[in-house]
Amino acid sequence: MTTPARSGVFDTVTDRRVEEFTESVSFDRRLYAHDIRGSIAHAEMLATVGILTAAEAGLISQSLREIGDRITAGKFVFENSLEDIHMHIEQALIDQIGDVGRKLHTGRSRNDQVSTATRLWIRDALARLDQGIADLQLAFVGRCDHDAGVILPAYTHLQRAQPVLASHYWLAYCEKFQRDRDRLTDCQRRVNTCSLGSAAVAGTSIPIDREDVARRLEFNSLSRNSLDVSSDRDFVLETAFVLTMVAEHLSNWAEEWILWSTVEFDYLALPHQFCTGSSIMPQKINPDVLELIRGKTGRVVGNLQSLLVLVKGLPLAYNRDLQEDKPALFDSFDTVESCLQLAVPIVAGAELKRGSIETGLERGYLDATTLMEYLIQHGVPMRSAHHAVGQLVNKARQRNVPLGQLGLSDFQECHADLDESVFEVLGVERAIQSFSSYGSTAPAQVERQIADWKRRLASDMEAAIAVENR
């Protein structure tokens, strides 16, 4: 590859140390396919408006594809002197076809070129991420049938609260990850804006057709202000935030399952192929993958913070600081994708320890709230019912028995008109049957939600296949 000599306003070549300090090709080379796609669209547009001939645009496009093939095959030489992937590709094009290659950059700048390639890369990466989250949702929904009828203690403040169906628990994670997917979709809308043709900062006097380029690259809209485009990295920060939320939800789930897999909880057996042993203690089955998912979330959060600090003091328009957005962006995508790839088989392969769970279900007075609501429905004011059930729980604790083993006389001390029907809401299974509100753990409600999730995810899968086959 030919390295361009210093020319124009510069009277000396760049110091080697500056080349090493300012290069970004070591990390932005992963944009090569998207840069080439944008350049081909730009060349075809230049031919459409008469700046290039059809033959010149065809030669440029074919040469760019050949350069892309060489990069893919690992046969392309990268040099720090050419700074970034965009300059590498342009110089390789010039080396290959001469002056025709020098015409490609007409009507654009590296500023809008970089923005466009980054947007195209993020757009593809968001689609992959969405599919990865959908796969995780499918794994949780698959557990619903596998764990049908299993009751778990739900916790608040990490203290036992009320009984819930295991399926209700799994669908709670589907809801969290669906919000992440919704954020991805919303983020995609702002990412999917064409920057190309805004040029360096003020636009261009060349009669280009930006709408033509946007159509070729399947962008939904055009950027409307050339000054804004040069400085805008909102779409990168928003993407990083969405990735952070996905990582946070994965970390929440990992933390819970780490606890559940302990001897103290004894709720869950993790698949051994996703655990590790101890170098000294032969009995250990450590949840290292879950711990690393939890730990790697810190990197994703840190990347978001780095990006926020990066842009906080930048004036309009482009500043070289923005080169530093890509390491954080790429690392967050890589980290979250790797976590998702491991989360799916862990969710699918884990087993609830039903015997251990059932043995301890009556501990913690999970039916206390249901008893309180029973009293309310029998005319006891809510605060009075709350106080009365608290006294009953205290009495049961003193006797070391569940609420269902108190005598009828104990309940009648709270409300004289109570009869044997009070026992119909006591015990976790009866408590589960007492729920009725929309979105609750009531069996009928949960069954409807499972069916709804199956339909939604099946529809999403069909839509994804249709997009791939377009």
Report which of 193, 203, 207 is spatially closest to residue 48, judged by C-alpha positions. 207
Mind telling me the catalytic residues? Answer: 157, 278
With left for phi above 0 and alpha for psi between -120 and 50, is residue 10 left, alpha or beta? beta
Q: What is the pTM of this model?
A: 0.94
Helix (H) or strand (E) holding 210: helix 210-216
Radius of gyration of the chain (CA): 30
The tokens of 38 are what? 């944008």
Residue predicted with more confidence, 417 or 6 = 417
Q: Once rounded to an integer, what is the mean pLDDT over residues 311-334? A: 96
241-253: string of b/e by CB count within 10 Å (b at 16+)? bbbbbbbebbbeb
Question: What does the longest C-alpha to C-alpha distance in the chain come to?
Answer: 100
Give 35-91 pLDDT, tens digit per residue. Answer: 999 999 999 999 999 999 999 999 999 999 999 999 999 999 999 999 999 999 999
Which two structure tokens, joined as six digits, stand for 174? 């589907």
At 285-306, the pLDDT tens digits run 999 999 999 999 999 999 999 9
Beta bridge partners of 159: 156
* Token code pair at residue 315: 């004036």
Predicted confidence at residue 7, as pLDDT, reads: 60
Q: At what angle do helices 234-260 and 325-349 cross, to 10 degrees?
A: 30
Q: What is the sign of the dihedral through the CA atoms of 417, 418, 420 and 424?
A: positive
The structural domains of the chain, ordered by start, are 16-106 (1.10.275.10), 111-359 (1.20.200.10), 368-426 (1.10.40.30)
Question: Could you give the CA distance from residue 45 to residue 37 in angstroms, rounded to a whole number?
Answer: 12
Q: Is the dihedral of CA 445, 446, 447, 450 positive or negative?
A: positive
